[in-house]
Structure 1
């Protein structure tokens, strides 16, 4: 007993040294992490500003409902750069690692979770809208009216705050702490395992299942129609395989960005243990990069969007440089005629119609 007690001071000193070394390492890594977060914020913000400047006006091939859903996605992605990152950077710069959680940290954690959840619900809503547009084109206007589309968007924005409001309460059902590894205010998922797991059951898993089902059906349908066209001797069919070029990267990016975060959330909730510093940092901030990748997969790959973006850039240049030669109406007419001809010349059969519908809505 005497020897056991005598060893305690040495053990405590060793723990203090390890704790001091860990804090020094975290402090040394903090500027690198802040730089990565700032870079992500700039990329997401600039990308979505460019998107808004284009879809603010009509884009050929996009219906009114499509524009509503894509504007909702742009708003959710922009919130990463305009809300999530500034709030967490403010906390990470002002809060000392030894400080205890405070009410402001609860509010920041609430906004973090709300924006993440809204983004997932919005992605699922877009998948549903495109599924209906492709497989039920004649019933689209009755199945997905303007009112129903707006209600679906409202649900994606209003349901997450209701579900996550306990996180904002300092004396609520779940604790919140400032993570020195990821530089964010995180809920302590192990403090309420039932609530933490229910969040994944209401948000990640249903959204992922819905997106996977809709996009897989679209991909299978597009491949089937392309095979039929080749079988029937459509040798002149030279349109690129847009379904594989868009749908596969969309789902790959979604699961790559969101799965690590959800896995760590479930692991920490059940085990009560933490993960290595950089593993936590990457897993927590990886979903925000999906906000930039969405700009590429949902917008820049679309040919109509690129054409409209070029026109917007030209108009902006001519406003900044009045002496430059303006765009002739014939050029704009040619672009529009090419879009119309691109559609009308390829609807000679049901197979072709379905393929074009997939391309216009992905």
Structure 2
């Protein structure tokens, strides 16, 4: 017989799940760490969302893509609160909330990867075809692409998880479990379209961007003394800097995401997958920190928001120096 303290729901002695045997100190530490990451992730990405949405000069095609990514990262921060509920292996929020949590996690992950592909494509056109960038990459087209990215994520994940959505809690083996099961075909389809294909596209595009950016940097250094080329050089330098910054965002994203998918592909233990999933969640906290480090306009907008100057009339028309 199991002791009642070992069960998630002692009142359901014969059907309750068993709690994980984790030292109390580790449980408290994990609660503190996950809660802190969750609050920090939500707060930093909310600052980015407000910045790009409020200040008109920041309504560029590239920043719209960053806005889409920030919305995904902000949602991840909120989902981390649900992740803390599973620290001891017990889910107390019911089958419907379990389904909502898991479904949103799949959709947000898929949309984040799709947005990373769009960011890579944006930098590819900006660096490799700079003369055509303003005509090919417009705010209207970017908005349509972002909409399609999110819609495709919702539809695709709905098809992948249809059995779980039809009957929440269908695959739970005991009360207090939050299980999500997909078929092998659906799993491989998700792996292909949510990982292998987009990652391949991102790597190919950024390899091309890297080669062209290096050649442009050399050309700029050799012509920097020519006064007539100063404007062109400054524009190219700005594009190269943006490519490097967003390249860092993509690289960090890949480093945080690939281990989880690799372990999932190799069918390792669930405990390792859980820790690597948290690593992926941490990535959502790192993105706004990267923007704050490399983008002066983000630092300036944070100062305006924190000091409440954003509430003043005409604050949306404040100008930012190019960066």
TM-score, normalization by structure 2? 0.73
Shift of 1:194: 1.9
2: CA distance, partners of 1:193 / 1:318: 52
2:52 is the alignment partner of 1:55: yes
CA distance in 1, matches of 2:269, 2:209: 39
Q: Rate the CA distance shift 1:29–1:202 in 2: closer, same or farther, 3 A.
A: same
Query: What displacement does 1:111 show?
Result: 1.3
- Counterpart of 1:6 in structure 2 is none
Alignment match, 2:7: none
In the superposition, relative to structure 1, how do residues 304 and 28 fare at CA in structure 2: closer, same or farther (>3 Å)? closer
Query: Could you tell me whether the CA contact under 8 Å between 1:222 and 1:243 is conserved in 2?
Result: no
- Of 166, 169, 177 in structure 1, the residue corresponding to residue 163 of structure 2 is 169
Of 113, 135, 144, the match for 1:120: 113
Distance 1:257 1:184 in 2: 26
Partners of 1:109 and 1:167 within 8 A in 2: no
From the superposition, tell whether residues 103 and 28 of structure 1 become closer, same or farther in structure 2 (CA, over 3 Å): farther
Task: Compare CA radii of gyration and give the structure with the larger one.
Answer: 1
Alpha-carbon shift at residue 307 of structure 1 (Å): 3.4
Q: In structure 2, do the counterparts of structure 1 residues 185 and 285 end up closer, same or farther at CA, with 3 Å as the change threshold?
A: farther
Residue by residue over 1:224-255, the C-alpha shift from the partner in whole angstroms, topping out at 9 and shown as x without a partner, is 12222334575999989847862553233112
Contact 1:88 1:184 in 2 (8 A): no
State yes or no: 1:220 paired with 2:211: yes
1:68 aligns with 2:57: no
1:253 aligned partner: 252
Q: Please point out which of 119, 128, 142 is paired with 1:149.
A: 142
State the match for 1:87 in structure 2.
82
RMSD: 4.1
Residues in 1 aligned to 2:96 and 2:306: alpha-carbon distance in whole angstroms: 45
Q: Structure 2 CA distance, aligned partners of 1:151 and 1:209?
A: 23
Long gaps (5+) in structure 1: 1-19, 320-326, 341-359
TM-score (norm 1): 0.66
Q: For residue 317 of structure 1, report the CA deviation from its aligned partner.
A: 9.4
Q: What is the alpha-carbon distance in structure 1 between the residues aligned to residue 83 and residue 192 of structure 2?
A: 26
Aligned to 1:304: 297
The DSSP-based 3-state class of the residue aligned with 2:269 is: coil
Q: Is 1:158 aligned to residue 138 of structure 2?
A: no
Equivalent in the alignment of 1:139: 132
* Inter-partner Cα distance in structure 2 for 1:23 and 1:311: 46
2:195 to 200, 204, 208: 204
Q: 1:248 to 1:129 in 2, by over 3 A?
A: closer
Structure 2: unaligned runs, 5 residues or longer: 1-16
Equivalent residues in 2 for 1:179-190 (5 A)? 185=178, 187-188=180-181
Specify the alignment match of 1:346 in structure 2.
none
Alpha-carbon offset, residue 187 of structure 1 = 3.2
**In 2, Cα distance between the equivalents of 1:152 and 1:315?**
33
Match of 1:31 among 19, 28, 52: 28
Q: Is this contact kept in 1: 2:259–2:276, CA < 8 A?
A: yes
